[in-house]
Amino acid sequence: MGPSIKGTASTEDQPLNPEYDYGKSKVEAEKLVKESQIPYVILRPTGIYGPDDRFVIFELIEMVDMGIFFFIPGDGKARLAFTYVDDVASAFIIALSTKKINQTYIISSDESPTIEEWLVTIATALKRITPKIYLPMPLCKLGITVLRPIMNRGKRRTFMYEPETLDRMLEDHSYSNEKAKRELGWKPQMSTIEGVQKTVDHYFKVGALEWSSLSTIGDALLLLTCFCGLHLLLKYLGF
């Protein structure tokens, strides 16, 4: 659907402005459906997350778990709506039997957390230290550019380890679900905090994440600290 106007939630009546080819292809698909003269119900889900997702939110969770996202990019105030997979599935089930024909509905969570709120929620679910440092976007982009060839190696598709993704973190992506609730009788059941916790728990259960008392970067810093301490001790003892 594309970014929303700052401080507002986009509705079905507002122009579509997707930023990626995937979103643009869905706009074209909508046009073909509407021109076909076949009765339709179009659902426009926001980004979707939940167990077995291996894309946007999973990569974000990985980055927090590894200690890469120990900071908040920019001011962290841009809003990002993602909807739990079970809530999206229930909307499709309802749409199959609705008598509201030739209508379009946004399927979105009731919440549009800020980037900062997403990072804090994920860190809390992972039992990591919540990020409190704000870093300017140019510095964040430099870091992602350095990590990009390493972290994207062997992946069929990526999202988080791209400098352009940080640009999206400056935009609001907030959408109104009022029409779907009013006309379809649909209502999302999962809060962001619950959904993220269920998703994180699932990743640990299936081995997509492995529990450690420290993050990967935290482990590296601990080993470096121990090495330096041992070096100083040996030097003090005359070795």
Mean of pLDDT over the chain: 87
- pLDDT average, residue stretch 215-239: 52
Among left, alpha and beta (phi > 0; psi -120 to 50; other), residue 37 is: left
Reported as a pLDDT band with limits 50, 70 and 90, residue 165 is confident
Q: What is the pLDDT of residues 18-71, one digit of tens each?
A: 888 889 999 999 999 999 989 999 999 999 999 989 889 999 999 999 888 889
CB 161 within 8 A of CB 59: yes
Q: 3: which DSSP letter? A: P
**How many CA atoms lie less than 13 Å away from 14 in the CB half-sphere?**
16
pLDDT for residue 12 is more than 70: yes
Q: Is the pTM of this model over 0.75?
A: yes
pLDDT over 70 for what percent of the chain? 88
Dist CA 172 CA 27 (whole Å): 20
- Bridge partners of residue 44, in order along the sequence: 106
Residue of 237 and 60 predicted with greater confidence: 60
At residue 239, the pLDDT reads 54
At residue 221, the pLDDT reads 47
Q: What is the pLDDT of residues 108-140, one digit of tens each?
A: 999 999 999 999 999 999 999 898 899 999 998
- pLDDT average, residue stretch 146-164: 80
CB 106 within 8 A of CB 1: yes
Q: What is the pLDDT of residues 85-102, one digit of tens each?
A: 999 999 999 999 999 999
Sole residue written with tokens 């292809």: 25
CB 93 within 8 A of CB 50: no
